[in-house]
Amino acid sequence: MQHYPVFLNTRAARIILSGGGEAALAKLRLLMKTEANLHVFAPDAAPEIIDWANAGALTLHRRALKAEDVAGAALVYAADEAEARDSETATLAHSARVLLNIVDNLEGSDFITPAIVDRDPVTIAIGTEGAAPVLARQIKADLEARLPSSLGALARIGKAFRHAADTLPMGRARRAFWSEYYTKTGPASISKGEAATKAALDTLLAQHLTEAPAEGHVVFAGAGPGDPELLTLKARRALHEADVVIYDRLVSPAILELARREALMLSAGKEGFGAAMSQADINALIVKHASAGVQVLRLKGGDPAVFARLDEEIEACEAHDIAFSIIPGITAASASAAALGQSLTKRGRNTEARLVTGHDMQGYADQDWKSLARAGEVAAIYMGKRAARFIQGRLLMHGAAANTPVSLVENASLPNQRIVATTLGQLPNALAEAALTGPALTLLGLAPRDAVAPTLKQEVAQ
């Protein structure tokens, strides 16, 4: 982000623009919506600018810009569309240390004016740092179509009502009130006019004030394998609504970015064997926050119901009469099979696919090795890296073929995803050689499809 977006307070600010042609007109149309004192310097100004000056919307100086004009200004626009003139304006702005924009000159400018969707006081600024003006226009058109023109009026009425709404307790109660106003009450009443909308706000506030105090609630949600686009819509909404987010190490930073900025973000990071935070501490943390009456999101990698100790956390909630709900997620087995371009079950090959853990509380986990060793079996082995040699030994001992395909998918669905294709016989060697550092799923019985049809590789990776 080379250009950092800010909203400038223009009340009583002086904004200087040098130029009187097309470029100046384009900038002025937007600048005139602000509360700034606009000073235009142009020996030769377009008729529109003269009209605006006559109407008192700006002050027109029919001469070139001088040093004393610039001192103390908030912004300077060089809009003469003539290089020599613009560079004089730039020199004046810089020696007075005033932020400068040279029209159509990104590199020479201190700031740029974004594309804007205007539902004053709701303003959406869109910038692409000059990379894609067409894209910026498309996004603008999209938003223009999506946001009702009444949005500005709703926000203005809402703003005037903020003080009254502050009688609601801070946090969830207040958010619930505003959310209902902006999504239901407001849109339903705004067509009947401002007075009707204000009355509706009064009624809504009275309702919310008499409601019982908010009760805590815990949402156990799966964050999927890492790619934010593999979040469910429900998980995404839960992230947006949560007051407290307690997340695992496997949840990717790009997903945590989706939480509200005010949300309390707590890491319950766990490492393969052993835990950075004990399960009892995590349970206590969940209960503590939910008991305070807030919305807790317990976010787990993949699916919360797959090797994620969900039941223990649920039992802790039940023991304290805390309501909870579960949002499933895409588990690592699904994402890893997709990375290989394979299905987990296939007609004629396997009638079951097993989710297996490499280790449990006692150490390396025991399995029904005999059935796993059968030809055509497919198992997704979670936390299987360290147990690889143990698993290999058991399977070979129970008659599995050494050339049984085994694939490891590290960081499935993420940009740094890696696939290691090997066989049961070669598994420990292949693992040692690959030196995987991220979470990896071992898929017993599956080889990447591109081992057979190499052209598919790219499509699968995308």
Residues identified as active-site: 248, 270
H helical segments located in 100-226: 133-146, 151-165, 172-180, 186-190, 194-210
Q: In whole angstroms, give the CA distance from residue 55 to residue 249.
A: 61
By CB under 6 A, name the one of 19, 158, 216, 301 that touches ligand SAH: 301
Question: Does residue 71 contact residue 93 with C-beta atoms inside 8 Å?
Answer: no
Rounded to the nearest 5 degrees, what angle is found at the Cα of 117, between the Cα atoms of 114 and 121?
105
Which helix (H) or strand (E) segment holds residue 16: the answer is: strand 14-18
Question: How many other C-beta atoms can be found within 10 angstroms of the C-beta atom of residue 226?
Answer: 27
**Minimum CB distance to ligand SAH, residue 416 (Å):** 10
Give the x/- contact pattern for ligand SAH in 409-428, rule: CB under 6 A: x-xxx---------------
Residues numbered 322 to 341 that lie near ligand SAH (CB under 6 A) are 331-332, 336
The answer to whether 307 contacts ligand SAH (rule: CB under 6 A) is yes
370 — phi, psi (to 5°)? -60, -45
**Minimum CB distance to ligand SAH, residue 320 (Å):** 24
Q: Which is nearer to ligand SAH, 114 or 222 (CB)?
A: 222
By CB under 6 A, name the one of 103, 200, 306, 338 that touches ligand SAH: 306
Maximum pairwise Cα distance, the chain: 95
The answer to whether 300 contacts ligand SAH (rule: CB under 6 A) is yes
Q: How far is CA 181 from the centre of its chain?
A: 24
Beta-carbon contacts of residue 188 (< 8 Å; ≥ 6 apart): 200
Residues numbered 348 to 387 that lie near ligand SAH (CB under 6 A) are 382-383
**Minimum CB distance to ligand SAH, residue 155 (Å):** 40
Residues numbered 249 to 268 that lie near ligand SAH (CB under 6 A) are 250
Q: In whole angstroms, give the CA distance from residue 220 to residue 229.
A: 19
Q: Which is nearer to ligand SAH, 38 or 337 (CB)?
A: 337
Give the x/- contact pattern for ligand SAH in 170-209, rule: CB under 6 A: ----------------------------------------
CB closest to ligand SAH, residue no: 302
Whether the CA torsion 411, 413, 416, 421 is positive or negative: it is: positive
Beta-carbon contacts of residue 133 (< 8 Å; ≥ 6 apart): none
Number of H helices, E strands in the chain: 18, 19
Which of the 8 DSSP states describes residue 145? H
Q: Which is nearer to ligand SAH, 89 or 334 (CB)?
A: 334
Give the x/- contact pattern for ligand SAH in 66-105, rule: CB under 6 A: ----------------------------------------
Give the x/- contact pattern for ligand SAH in 225-244, rule: CB under 6 A: xx------------------
Tokens of 112: 């740029």
> Would you list the DSSP string of 29-57?
HHHTTSSSEEEEE-SS--HHHHHHHHTTS
The answer to whether 221 contacts ligand SAH (rule: CB under 6 A) is no
Half-sphere exposure of 384 (CA within 13 A, CB side): 27
By CB under 6 A, name the one of 157, 308, 327, 444 that touches ligand SAH: 308
Binding segment for ligand SAH (CB under 6 A), chosen from 67-75, 91-99, 143-151, 301-309, is: 301-309
Q: Which is nearer to ligand SAH, 3 or 359 (CB)?
A: 359
Q: Which residues bind ligand SAH (CB under 6 A)?
A: 225-226, 250, 300-303, 306-308, 331-332, 336, 382-383, 409, 411-413, 439-441
